[in-house]
Amino acid sequence: MKRTVAYYRSSTTLQENSIVMQRSKVVHYSVQKKLPIHEEYTDEYVSSRKVTLLDRPNMARLIQDIKEGTIERILVYKRDRLARNLNEHLELYKLFKEYNIEVCFASENEIAMTYTAIGEYLECILGAMNEHEGKQIAERIMETRIANFISGKSSGNVPFGYETKKREDNSTFIERIEPELKIVREIYDAILSDKYKTLQELYRDFNAQGKLKRKTSWHQQLILETVSNPLYMGTQKMNSNNQSIPRYLTELSIVNEEEWNEANDKILGMLVKRKPNVAKFRFPLKEILQCYECRKDLTTNERMRNRKKYKVYECKEHNVFVVADSIEKDIIRHGKEFFTKMLRSDFEKLYKRSQQKSVEQLQKWIKEQERIVSNQEIQLAKKIDRWLKNESVHHKKEMDLTYDELKEEKNRLVKLQKRLYEIKHIKEQAQQWCNDLKYENIILELSEEKRKEFYRDIIEVIYISDYEYHIIFKHPFMMVQEVYCEPENSLSTS
């Protein structure tokens, strides 16, 4: 089933284009047009100028779902929520055109997106306008920040030893905190005098003397950040478009430029080099492997054999263990054999016959759940209309509550549909597992979580004894699985 989805993006906390506002407009549009939203994709506090399409988590997910052919229609507030970069805007346009995606804008001022020669020409113009507008907004913000910084209206962030204060006209100035600056000056003196061989010696001594950074103990990175701050030599810097804009405040200096440069040269020789991290060994079969004798989960450990270390799963009580690498490779081999044999038998026909009752029951619950979702959508439409006529807090809470309830009901519907799909397509699932198990190296290179998830999908439990192991796969005929009751909350009177 192809779905109608919504996409929201905000780059700031400003109310003008907040997620709440976008969602309200889009949901109202969906109700007016009778287009139920099956899923929402939200990228909050993500700048489309600074973050590429695929680096936006939910935009990347949306693109992937479009390519998989599961989406028919996208609801979005305005074009600039999709992209503010012309190239990315056209990239999305071509993707939508290729998969025949209907894009609906909730804003009345947006021109409809069409897949014609004129439509593509219009998208070039509109995309360029959005990009230009985005650049202008960013430039205005940056120009204001620079002007405020140079004039002293804004002081920016200040390091340890200084404090930002406000004047009556709301402009700011930087004030010295002498007791704190005394500690910083002592750090510079200690480095310049070669009193300590390493930064570790320096910060440990200062911490022992109680000379802390506002109740925070010193550490190597904190010392580096402090000593390298140019405000201690009377220069404050602001970075803009890869350029450093200086402001000279000599009255705030505690070292001269020569001392500052020398201290920053010497500090590099005092760094304590850390040993490289050794990659941590993973145990993806934890909670799947059990001792045959006591039926308890095996623990993980390291053992020696022929002067070589091995990672193992073990039961100390019964002196049972298996080498982690070996058992994982054996499981992949046996899994491949198991599912290959299963696919060659009359498994699919027998399984579908045994699950016929469950299929009928699920279809009944899906129909009932679709009715509940439809009723909830009608209720939401009414509450949105009330809120739009009278934007009271009470109506907003009612609308939000109904919206959350609708999402829950939709999730229940998706779960039921997913279970029905699993029963009807068990052969395809077994075929997929069989194909995955052909590529042992690819499986072993997956992350621990991915491997753990894969093994849990196909294995019920593995019992380990002192001389053999028993793998119990999640074969449908090795367990009784039947839909036995109504889905959660299906007795609702909605």
Is the pLDDT at 279 greater than 60? The verdict is: no
Q: Are strands 162-166 and 172-176 parallel, antiparallel or unpaired?
A: antiparallel
d(CA 156, CA 145): 9
Using only C-alpha atoms, the chain has a radius of gyration, in whole angstroms, of 32
Please report the pLDDT score of residue 15 as a whole number: 44
CA distance 177 to 194: 26
* Mean pLDDT value across the chain: 80
Beta strands in 11-69 (DSSP E): 39-43
Asked whether the predicted pLDDT for residue 5 surpasses 90, the reply is yes
Q: How confident is the model at residue 423 (pLDDT cuts 50, 70, 90)?
A: low
CA pair distance 11, 135, nearest whole angstrom: 14
Region 473-480: mean pLDDT is 54
User: Which pLDDT tens digit goes with each residue over 334-349?
Assistant: 877 776 766 665 555 6
What confidence tier does 428 reach under pLDDT thresholds 50, 70, 90?
low
pLDDT confidence of residue 213:
92
283 has pLDDT over 60: yes
DSSP-derived secondary structure for 246-275: EEE-GGG-SS-HHHHHHHHHHHHTT--PPP
Q: What percent of the chain has pLDDT over 70?
A: 77
Residue 81: name the closest of 115, 110, 55 by CA. 110
Question: 98-113 pLDDT, tens per residue?
Answer: 999 999 999 988 889 9
> CB of 423 within 8 A of CB of 355?
yes
Instruction: Give residue-wise pLDDT tens across range 284-320.
Output: 888 889 998 898 999 988 887 677 788 888 998 888 8
Structural domains present in the chain: 3-142 (3.40.50.1390), 162-268 (3.90.1750), 289-478 (no CATH)
Is residue 245 scored above 90 in pLDDT?
no
Give the mean model confidence (pLDDT) for residues 417-439. 65
- Residue 346 φ then ψ, to 5°: -90, 30
pLDDT digits (tens, 9 = 90+) for 122-172: 888 888 887 777 667 666 666 666 677 666 666 678 899 999 888 887 778
CA–CA separation, 265 and 326 (whole Å): 52
Sign of the Cα pseudo-torsion (465, 470, 474, 479, in order): negative
* Per-residue pLDDT at 16: 58
Cα–Cα dist 25/23, whole Å = 5
Half-sphere exposure of 88 (CA within 13 A, CB side): 21
The helix or strand, by DSSP H or E, that contains position 287, with its residue range, turns out to be none
- pLDDT at residue number 101: 95
Percent of the chain with pLDDT over 90: 27
**pTM to 2 decimals?**
0.37
57-109, pLDDT tens digit by residue?
999 999 999 999 999 999 999 998 998 888 889 999 999 999 999 999 999 88
What is the average pLDDT across 170-192?
Answer: 91
- 47, 77 in Cβ contact below 8 A? no
479: pLDDT confidence band, cut at 50, 70 and 90?
Answer: very low
Which residue in 35, 31, 84, 33 sits closest to 59, CA to CA? Answer: 84
pLDDT at 123: 87
